[in-house]
């Protein structure tokens, strides 16, 4: 039976899949499914947020206010090159809104971050999937073969999500040198790998870098992302952005986090140490574990003869959450992603995982 308002809904929106609430996670659950930092923000950050609460009857600063200056200082660019958004998801939508007309194409080397194609479909664009190499590298020749007069944007997550690998700089340069469309390099895991293309902004007028304070700075719940680009693109992004893209508490927390970088860096050291230990444990259990330049590990359950869906479901029943990527674009039915938790969380995860593998295999 058709809905009486169907004819009023934009046709591109009708084709989108409905969102689900997802599993409710209790306080005792181990949450390794969202790429979050397992450590809370520093006392300096929580104090700044608490101090800002008394003024939330007033609107936040327009277009991010002084956070632009803080981010410019942190990244080494001019404040006019910084665009602040409600997480990088917000900026992804803005980029597509500005550069992609209905029916035009967005190139997506898969597997990659699902928001790229979701936002493309939402705007009526056409996501064009390009297969990666066997080790999830970027196949520039395959990419170029997909370029048409309708190609408007290319998204490259670097490091890639969910596969955690870095694309070498020479490959990035090859893509930039052969493409006239907008090239977006998503560096939201930058602090874990220290690889960046920011220095190429001045040379390539079609380049946009995306970053986030969610992962390295532990502010996922505040939703603060930012873009770095030339001043012309920055101007157009802000023309389409909300006047208040980030709320007042998020602004206060983000500025304070950038003032307390040593705390963030100390957490990154701990995560990288735990990542090495966790990868070793998972390899010992029989998983294929891919190299990681992020705060998560990408695994294949194929050597175990178990689908990722069955293993993720079994762990969920034990109140442990990891992300199933089985049969997502560019992947088979054996793929999952595990965020690196605290030492205690990782230890319990491995203990339960060992039990569940044994139970499924019997």
Domain extent listing, the chain: 18-40+262-361, 43-259
Give residue 362's pLDDT band: very low, low, confident or very high (50, 70, 90): low
Torsion (CA) 270, 29, 212, 329 in degrees, nearest 10: 110
CATH class label, 18-40+262-361:
alpha beta
From CA 72, how far away is CA 4, in angstroms rounded? Answer: 50
Q: What share of the chain is helix, strand, coil (3-state, %, to 5)?
A: 45, 15, 40
The pLDDT, as a whole number, for residue 22 is 64
Return the half-sphere exposure (C-beta side, CA atoms, 13 A cut-off) of residue 8.
3
DSSP secondary structure string for all residues of 115-131: HHHHHHHHTT-EEEEEE
* 340: pLDDT strictly greater than 80: yes
The position carrying tokens 């609460």 is: 53
Residues composing the chain = 362
Q: What is the mean pLDDT of residues 262-270?
A: 96
Asked if residue 113 lies in contact with residue 132, where contact means CB atoms within 8 angstroms, the answer is: no
From CA 120, how far away is CA 158, in angstroms rounded? Answer: 19
pLDDT tens string 228-241:
999 999 999 999 99
Give residue 2's pLDDT band: very low, low, confident or very high (50, 70, 90): low
Structure tokens at 146: 């997909």
Q: What is the mean pLDDT of residues 96-105?
A: 96
* 69: pLDDT strictly greater than 60: yes
Query: Which range is least confidently modeled, 79-83, 204-208, 244-248?
Result: 244-248
Where are the extended beta strands (E) located within the chain? Answer: 30-31, 82-85, 105-110, 126-131, 151-157, 182-186, 207-212, 225-228, 288-289, 296-300, 320-321, 323-324, 335-339
Q: What is the mean pLDDT of residues 170-190?
A: 96
The pLDDT, as a whole number, for residue 8 is 79
The pLDDT, as a whole number, for residue 336 is 97
φ, ψ of residue 308 in degrees (nearest 5): -65, -35
* 97: pLDDT strictly greater than 60: yes
Which is more confident, 38 or 64? Answer: 38
* Separation of CA 299 from chain center: 18
Give residue 24's pLDDT band: very low, low, confident or very high (50, 70, 90): low
The pLDDT, as a whole number, for residue 285 is 96
Domain spanning 43-259: CATH 2.60.40.10:
no
Asked if residue 158 lies in contact with residue 166, where contact means CB atoms within 8 angstroms, the answer is: yes
* 23: pLDDT strictly greater than 70: no
185: Cβ–Cβ under 8 A, 6 or more apart, which residues? Answer: 156, 158, 172, 197, 207, 208, 209, 210
Q: How many CB atoms are closer than 10 A to CB 228? A: 26
Asked if residue 186 lies in contact with residue 159, where contact means CB atoms within 8 angstroms, the answer is: no
Give residue 9's pLDDT band: very low, low, confident or very high (50, 70, 90): confident
The pLDDT, as a whole number, for residue 141 is 94
From CA 162, how far away is CA 267, in angstroms rounded? Answer: 21
φ, ψ of residue 204 in degrees (nearest 5): -115, 105
φ, ψ of residue 58 in degrees (nearest 5): -105, 150
Q: What is the mean pLDDT of residues 241-253?
A: 93
Q: What is the mean pLDDT of residues 217-221?
A: 95
Structure tokens at 320: 């442990």
What is the residue-averaged pLDDT of the chain? 93
The pLDDT, as a whole number, for residue 191 is 96
In Å, what is the CA distance from 53 to each residue of 49, 59, 60, 123, 165?
7, 12, 11, 36, 40
């Amino acid at each position: 039976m058709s809905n009486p308002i169907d004819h009023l809904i934009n046709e591109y929106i009708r084709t989108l899949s409905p969102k689900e609430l997802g599993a409710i996670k209790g306080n005792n659950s181990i949450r390794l499914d969202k790429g979050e930092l397992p450590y809370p923000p520093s006392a300096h950050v929580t104090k700044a947020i608490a101090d800002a609460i008394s003024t939330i009857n007033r609107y936040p600063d327009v277009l991010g206010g002084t956070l632009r200056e803080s981010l410019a200082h942190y990244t080494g660019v001019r404040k006019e090159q910084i665009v602040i958004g409600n997480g990088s998801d917000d900026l992804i939508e803005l980029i597509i809104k500005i550069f992609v007309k209905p029916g035009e194409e967005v190139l997506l080397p898969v597997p990659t971050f699902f928001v790229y194609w979701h936002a493309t479909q939402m705007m009526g664009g056409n996501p064009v999937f390009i297969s990666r190499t066997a080790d999830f590298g970027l196949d520039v020749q395959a990419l170029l073969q997909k370029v048409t007069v309708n190609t408007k944007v290319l998204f490259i997550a670097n490091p890639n999500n969910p596969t955690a690998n870095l694309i070498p700089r020479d490959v990035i340069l090859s893509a930039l040198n052969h493409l006239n469309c907008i090239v977006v390099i998503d560096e939201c895991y930058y602090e874990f790998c220290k690889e960046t293309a920011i220095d190429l902004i001045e040379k390539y007028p079609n380049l946009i870098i995306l970053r986030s304070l969610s992962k390295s700075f532990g502010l996922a719940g505040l939703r603060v992302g930012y873009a770095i680009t030339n001043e012309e693109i920055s101007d157009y992004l802000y023309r389409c952005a909300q006047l208040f893209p980030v709320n007042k508490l998020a602004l206060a927390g983000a500025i304070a986090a950038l003032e307390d970088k040593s705390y963030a860096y100390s957490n990154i050291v701990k995560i990288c140490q735990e990542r090495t230990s966790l990868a070793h444990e998972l390899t010992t259990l029989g998983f294929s574990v891919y190299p990681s330049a992020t705060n998560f590990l990408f695994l294949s359950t194929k050597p175990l003869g178990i689908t990722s869906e069955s293993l993720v479901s079994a762990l969920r029943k034990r109140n442990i959450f990891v992300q199933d990527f089985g049969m997502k674009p560019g992947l088979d039915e054996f793929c999952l992603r595990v965020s690196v938790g605290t030492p205690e969380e990782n230890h319990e995860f491995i203990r339960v995982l060992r039990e569940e593998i044994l139970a499924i295999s019997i």
